[in-house]
Chains A and B, each alone.
Chain A
Amino acid sequence: MRRLVVAIVCVGLAALAGCMEMEQSATPSKQGKYQGKPDADPWTSEPLAMGPKWKKDDRASWEEQIKKRQLGQHEDRRIYQ
């Protein structure tokens, strides 16, 4: 009988523990500033073995090859030259 009472009390306490209020603290954040994870710039990646080539971490060389690739969309220049 005593064991049963102890068990009921334990279960009751465990159930009540679920109602406890979680600690809430305001995260200091600067309004209007990005709050998420940082993202790496595309030119910091290693070029793929079979893909376009640029020098890793060199923004200028990445932009250069992107612009060159972009001219593939300019069929006027391809046709009339």
Chain B
Amino acid sequence: MARMKFLCDAERCIECNGCVTACKNENEVPWGVNRRRVVTVNDGVIGAEKSISVACMHCSDAPCMAVCPVDCFYRTGDGVVLHDKDLCIGCGYCFYACPFGAPQFPQAGAFGLRGKMDKCTFCAGGPETDRSDAEFKKYGRNRLAEGKLPACAEMCSTKALLGGDGDVVADIYRERVLRRGKGSEVWGWGTAYGPGKPGAQPPQGAKS
């Protein structure tokens, strides 16, 4: 059973923002809302600069879902976390709960009035008839119902951003790390795959 996930390889991301542009174009995201963005650490430091593309990670135990006072979040059969905009009251609790800053709020009026929450849908639309105009207008394109993967991952020029079934993502990444002999210090590697041999320690400078 497929469980949809994203993974961004910091060794490969070149901060081109192609994923951000692909997302905005595919879903016609309004001005001021970024469902995906590229974060760079150690900017300008030679050899230490790293970038990763961040959006909703479609958590298995999503904090946004836990804090929503109107229970407008749901998880699809393939593990994508979505929400019903007709129910959302734009309170912003999900924004405070999310560790990735994924929920976005379009400005709905004067004085910074918040509109209904908008976030990455894994290009899976929302609770409207699949591939309908209403779905596109509210949630963006439903590429999964077209048999495709999210536009950001498919558009990534260096294939740093992987998206799709978590098992396949992990297989691709594992093979990549083994081939280049580097990257096991990526965030979360230790959590996902352990330190390697029994009793072995994670590599020096590991962030996992």
Interface residues of A (CB under 8 A from B): 29, 31-42, 44-45, 47-48, 51-54, 59, 62-63, 65-67, 69-77, 80
What is the CA–CA distance of A60 and B77 in the complex, to the nearest angstrom? 12
| Majority secondary structure, A binding face | loop
Interfacial chain B residues near A76, Cβ < 8 Å: 172, 175-176, 179
Interface residues of B (CB under 8 A from A): 1-2, 70-74, 76-78, 82-84, 86-87, 124-131, 142, 144-149, 153-154, 156, 159, 162-165, 168-169, 172, 175-176, 179
Cβ contact of B74, chosen from A34, A70, A71, A73, cutoff 8 A: A34
Interfacial chain B residues near A33, Cβ < 8 Å: 71
Closest chain-B Cβ to A10's Cβ sits at a distance in Å of 36
Are B148 and A51 neighbours in the complex by a CB distance under 8 Å?
Answer: yes
Are A42 and B130 neighbours in the complex by a CB distance under 8 Å?
Answer: yes
11 pairs of residues in contact across A and B, judged by CB atoms under 8 Å: A34-B72, A34-B73, A36-B86, A41-B76, A42-B142, A42-B145, A47-B146, A66-B164, A74-B175, A76-B172, A76-B176
